[in-house]
Amino acid sequence: MLEPASGAASGSPDTIEFDHVPETDQAFENALAKARDGERLSVEDGVALITTGSDVDGIDTDRKERVLEAADRRRAEVVGEEVTFVANLNNNVTTACNTGCLFCNFKDTAANFESDSNVDHAGFTKTLDESREVVRDAVDRGVSEVTSVSGLHPGLALDDEHHEILRSFDNPASDVNYKPPEQYETPPGTYIEQMRAMSVGGVHLHSMTPEEAYHANRGTDRSYETVYRRLADAGLDSAPGTAAEILVDEVRDVICPGKIDTGEWIAAMEGAVAAGLPVTATMMYGHVENERHRVLHLDRIRRLQDRTGAITEFVPLSFIYQQTPLYERGIVSGGASDAEDELLIAVSRLFLDNVDHIQSSWVKFGDEKGLKLLNCGADDFMGTILSEEITKRAGGSYGEFRSFADYVDMISAIGRVPVERSMDYEECRRLDPDANPVGPVLGPRADGTPLLS
Ligand SMILES: C[S@@+](CC[C@H](N)C(=O)[O-])C[C@H]1O[C@@H](n2cnc3c(N)ncnc32)[C@H](O)[C@@H]1O
Ligand SMILES: Nc1c(NC[C@H](O)[C@H](O)[C@H](O)CO)[nH]c(=O)[nH]c1=O
Ligand SMILES: N[C@@H](Cc1ccc(O)cc1)C(=O)O
Ligand code: SF4
């Protein structure tokens, strides 16, 4: 039976029995000394830092501040004083999904999208033309990247050949989560067609999470590398490492039993890298998991990066709990506390000694805490996104976009240097806080005029 008290994450339940517990024999001071000396941290060190030690109940404020300070110093050594962000658009193609993740309120039951359904719903599927237009408009306004993540629509397949394979199953719906696209009011097109539609005007296309790649491969024995290569040929430039949640199967079994497991997630990421794509990595935390799960997740990401070197940034996603099944069913009583968010960012910076950039996500944290986290080890402040559905539908309230003027004001206010970046950080441009107006210049059609007017 898990003991809830010492170090158990706030908002997490005390009724789920996990094999992994958030306790360690490593002394806090030893772990901190290793972190300050730049030594590679073990999982035990990570647990000691993120819990502020097993010898204290809950989080010790003084110890926490010392962890944050060590992480802030490491950030300055690794990337200096620049705070980056990207001029990007979020374009979710469809919310139809049957996977049933208990932390997610983005999804809408796929059956409601069928032509003969009478159920009213707030979901959407964009046609290829609609996707193309929304991306083209954003590229005209100056974005350099489009991020696109979507529900696992049963009518979606990689291409026509994949449709044929899926149709040939005896019971496509139950065998491979497939229904013919003609059955839906708005057919979603194929993944390949979607990539072509969104890859317009030289924009960088960041899409196809490991879970989406699995969906684009279901019912076949192709490698992930093959699937990602075909997507890349159709315009895909990089892959988002979402769907990671917590990369420990005993946690996935509770919060997303319908999702691929840890090993499959890693295989998909390695396939994307083998196909030549840079990737991001994420962690969604602050629900049922404990601190050891968080550190085990970091360890899996660090090993993946040791093998690939392709992770451009690590993106901690603090669980937005308000309108989710986990909260509504009483499985959790809230999300991470401020202190847990701070320690998560700081320990990510210290533990991930092979990932240069740690993101502070304003859409999850808001501006005030987002800025604070830039002093706890983070150096990237996400992107303009222009539109947001995942967090909003879960009950988040920090809005859907940030302008370049907002970014420059906020980053200058904390004494750091605002920098526009590309997805892969290969292109970075310092912004002049006195320029007026200040807009993006890295996108294929960007000319310094603001994105939003
Ligand atoms: C909504 S899914 C869309 C892409 C695809 N269906 C998948 O699961 O990979 C993208 C990610 O959003 C994040 N997410 C979903 N609901 C969230 C919530 N309530 N709070 C924080 N992040 C959330 C999860 O990390 C999830 O992997
Ligand atoms: N943190 C969130 C992101 N981050 C992704 C970035 O905006 C960008 O696409 C990435 O850094 C690659 O350049 N996106 C979201 O939609 N929601 C977040 O919470
Ligand atoms: N779509 C994810 C965030 C995300 C997208 C792309 C990334 O590379 C990283 C994170 C969310 O809103 O939770
Ligand atoms: S997280 Fe992704 S796979 Fe899970 S229910 Fe939401 S949209 Fe579907």
State the total domains in the chain.
Answer: 1
**Conformation bin of residue 179: beta by default, left when phi > 0, alpha when psi is -120 to 50:** beta
Contact indicator for 394, 324 with CB cutoff of 8 Å: yes
> What is the spatial distance between Cα 243 and Cα 272, in angstroms, rounded to a whole number?
14
Whether 242 is in the pocket of ligand 3, judged by its Cβ within 6 Å, is yes
Whether 107 is in the pocket of ligand 4, judged by its Cβ within 6 Å, is yes
Tokens of 82: 């620049």
> What is the spatial distance between Cα 261 and Cα 357, in angstroms, rounded to a whole number?
26
Q: Does 409 fall in a domain?
A: yes
Tokens of 273: 């890298």
> What is the spatial distance between Cα 228 and Cα 128, in angstroms, rounded to a whole number?
20
One-letter amino acid of 417: V
Strands 311-318 and 204-207: unpaired
> What is the spatial distance between Cα 390 and Cα 211, in angstroms, rounded to a whole number?
16
Q: Does 35 fall in a domain?
A: no
Q: Does 451 fall in a domain?
A: no
Q: List the domain range (segments joined by +) for residue 317.
A: 81-430
Whether 101 is in the pocket of ligand 4, judged by its Cβ within 6 Å, is yes
Question: Which parts of the chain have pLDDT scores under 70?
Answer: 1-10, 14, 453
Distance, CA 46 to ligand 1 centroid (Å)? 25
Q: Does 58 fall in a domain?
A: no
pLDDT of residue 13: 72
| Long-range Cβ contacts of 253-256 (<8 Å, 24+ apart) | 254/16, 254/102, 254/288, 254/331, 255/101, 255/102, 255/103, 255/287, 255/288, 255/326, 256/99, 256/100, 256/101, 256/102, 256/103
Q: Does 333 fall in a domain?
A: yes
3-state secondary structure of 10: coil
Place of tokens 């005209």: 140
CB atoms within 10 A of CB 81: 13
CATH number at residue 178: 3.20.20.70
The kind and range of the H/E element at 373 are helix 362-373
Place of tokens 């469809």: 94
> What is the spatial distance between Cα 220 and Cα 223, in angstroms, rounded to a whole number?
9
In sequence order, what are the beta bridge partners of 83?
418
pLDDT of residue 181: 97
Tokens of 313: 């940034």
Distance, CA 240 to ligand 3 centroid (Å)? 7
Single out the residue of 206, 198, 208 nearest to residue 134, CA to CA.
Answer: 198
- Reported ipTM: the value is 0.97
Q: Does 100 fall in a domain?
A: yes
Place of tokens 């291409």: 159
Q: Whose CA is nearest to atom 2 of ligand 4?
A: 151
Q: Does 175 fall in a domain?
A: yes
Q: Ligand 2, from 90, 209, 279, 361: best to mutate by most atoms within 8 Å of Cβ? A: 361
pLDDT of residue 1: 28
Q: Does 374 fall in a domain?
A: yes
Contact indicator for 193, 158 with CB cutoff of 8 Å: no
- Residue 320 CA: nearest ligand 1 atom is 20
The kind and range of the H/E element at 83 are strand 82-86
> What is the spatial distance between Cα 247 and Cα 298, in angstroms, rounded to a whole number?
9
> What is the spatial distance between Cα 266 and Cα 304, in angstroms, rounded to a whole number?
8
